[in-house]
Amino acid sequence: MLIVITGASRGIGKAFAEIFAEPDAVILLAAKNEETLAVTCAELSKQYPETKFHSKNIDAARPEEMKAFGNWCLQFGVPDIVINNVGFFVPGSIATEKEGLIDDMLNTNFRSAYELSRTLLPAMKAKKAGHIFNICSIASLHAYANGGSYSISKFAMLGFSKNLREELKPFNIKVTSVMPGAVYTDSWNGSGVDENRIMKPSDIAQMVHAAAKLSPQACVEEIVIRPQLGDL
């Protein structure tokens, strides 16, 4: 089993790596912070010695780096599971957010998945197998205050995912859009929000893992998961 995960050095990405760490699996991790990624890869290798972990430092906002990462992944074989997880959030409004934020958001939160998928798909289509998970957001479903470019980028990600699902049906490649609500990751540190008010990274990882284990004839098209008390 060959698994590709972006945004994998911490939070939800690291939780994906942990839950898919099965004997004989090969997991390819990508993230921007080289030091954090190396520490995470070493920790996972020690914790799950029967799983092989490899990592590559990338800037997901640069399309050429996503293409290079995809080609690097193909050196290990044809991916069975691809989790397009990388993304970041900056609150703001369309009228007042800083110049260029829309480009940063679209490149990181959407185009990274577009470029990686385009690079991997010829091999996956030839094999006629695989499962792509696109980590979207509740922000993909409706506009909200201070969503700005982040929400736009996540709407784009969901649209990409829906189109990809239709294109890949004849090739037996599954596509699942994942729309999580608030998840307690590093970005919530110092926010004052009670850790028990919102979800854990492992909650998202467990849902994705379950969807990946269904029979070949079943595809979970969308996963919407929110905190028990609703969105913040």
Q: Which domain holds residue 210?
A: 2-225
Q: What is the pLDDT along the chain (232 residues), one digit of tens a residue?
A: 999 999 999 999 999 999 999 999 999 999 999 999 999 999 999 999 999 999 999 999 999 999 999 999 999 999 999 999 999 988 889 999 999 999 999 999 999 999 999 999 999 999 999 999 999 999 999 988 889 999 999 999 999 999 999 999 999 999 999 999 999 887 677 778 888 899 999 999 999 999 999 999 999 999 999 999 998 8
Q: What is the pLDDT of residue 194?
A: 86
Note whether residue 230 is domain-resident: no
pLDDT value at residue 226: 96
**Considering its fold, how many domains does the chain have in total?**
1
- Give pLDDT tens digits for 6-36: 999 999 999 999 999 999 999 999 999 999 9
- Asked whether residue 231 is domain-assigned, the answer is no
Percent of all residues in the chain with a pLDDT value above 90, rounded to a whole number = 89
Q: Considering the domain boundaries, does residue 119 fall inside one?
A: yes
Residue 232 placed within a domain: no
β-sheet with 52-57: strand ranges across? 52-57, 26-31, 2-6, 81-84, 131-135, 174-180, 222-225
Q: What is the pLDDT of residue 146?
A: 86
Report the predicted TM-score, pTM, of the whole model to 2 decimal places: 0.95
108, part of any domain: yes
CATH of the domain at 9: 3.40.50.720
Structural domain contains residue 85: yes
